Structure 1
């Protein structure tokens, strides 16, 4: 039987989602908890691979098991067993061929930029002390819809078959002393969101002209784009699937 698990986590203490040989990751911690509570080895496959320090308010992963369990009790036990920075929100049955990563229709991220100094969000936002021109940043965000190939924002030496992504949403919102960059696409390249945000901050600071974004994207060269903003301001917030995946 295949199950989806919906979870959220604060990524500060973790070296990303995916299991790595010499660092603690969210996947490793969740797998150990499931294996312990179900009494059999459990492997999980996540919908994405968040980098070290990146957070998730919603991430789905799938696992297979023939062990029969009471879902509410397992969720309760998992949340008691897991550290306080990982929370299980739901577990539900899905069709046997549904894959958490490959069947996702879209993913959405939010990057939080603090424009007012706040000592209580230093681990959750990237603070920019200089004034930002949000209108210019939103004008730049609209340019993203004109393109598919975003190699210029991808981490170099990344093994991917294509750099094409379909952008569905990209905008800057002002919220309680913060700027939130909301972006939704069918897929993302490694480091893509953080590189886009860094480039747009440079535009907002007046260091780069809005129209220069066309040249940057066309260059397909990471060195032409802006700096990569810190991981702690980035949140995976939403993953969409076809409506018929559940049993």
Structure 2
């Protein structure tokens, strides 16, 4: 049994997230259906990041095991012919049997895009802001989340006993013309954590809440209604490994 991996990108709007779900159409389902056609047998894939409904990816990493002859480059071409227009496979290759797309990842980086004015461009890839934003306040608020914290207040409640502590390694903001780009990198992310964090910073930047909101939420000292950023602006941009650069 040999192990293979590839990078992939997808437009998240038509899908109910990455992971297979009952009675829902996921990226994983679509990919595994195409692989079964090409390889003539069922194949189970493992992804580095389990993106939510409507979230995009340009740097997802996947591995799978296959018992048989396989030419990775040809596999990539065949899959892309079946998966267009919403999914694209890149850099299919053989890898060590020990490689694990999820558990070997050192960090994941997400990009969130806010349109600073109504625009027809990248509408499906950005949040169209209707408020004037103080971008410096946004940057400062976002930076206050850097470090190792219990991010459960920025996530959907869960009762599975798993840790909710994440190490937010770095943040970056950049105005690029009519778009405000937000990058966050962490060792792991909780369910809807990025969208919740961006929404809180958005509220401070538009003057709906006072600076210090992120720290108050982390301390679980804030219970008022607040904004959650919509899914279409979010994209899994890069997964970092010790010996695999995508």
Paired residue for 1:58?
A: 59
Query: How many pairs were matched up?
Result: 244
Tell me if the contact between 1:199 and 1:225 (Cα under 8 Å) persists in the aligned partners. Answer: no
Paired residue for 1:98?
A: 99
Identify unmatched segments of 5+ residues in structure 2: none
Runs of 4+ aligned residues of structure 1 deviating over 6 Å after TM superposition are none
Structure-2 change in CA distance of 1:158 and 1:205 (3 Å): farther
Paired residue for 2:242?
A: 242
Q: TM-score, normalised by structure 1?
A: 0.93
Paired residue for 1:230?
A: 230
Taking the aligned partners of 1:160 and 1:183, their CA distance within structure 2 comes to: 25
Q: TM-score, normalised by structure 2?
A: 0.94
Structure-2 change in CA distance of 1:168 and 1:197 (3 Å): same
Taking the aligned partners of 2:234 and 2:147, their CA distance within structure 1 comes to: 24
For the residue of structure 1 that corresponds to 2:208, the secondary structure is coil
Tell me if the contact between 2:197 and 2:214 (Cα under 8 Å) persists in the aligned partners. Answer: no
Tell me if the contact between 2:138 and 2:205 (Cα under 8 Å) persists in the aligned partners. Answer: yes
Compute the displacement of 1:162 (Å).
Answer: 1.2
Taking the aligned partners of 1:147 and 1:63, their CA distance within structure 2 comes to: 32
* Root-mean-square deviation over aligned CA pairs: 1.7
Structure-2 change in CA distance of 1:62 and 1:147 (3 Å): closer
Structure-2 change in CA distance of 1:93 and 1:103 (3 Å): same
Compute the displacement of 1:97 (Å).
Answer: 2.0
For the residue of structure 2 that corresponds to 1:3, the secondary structure is strand
Deviation string for 1:163-194 (max 9, x for gaps)? 11111111221012011110000000000000
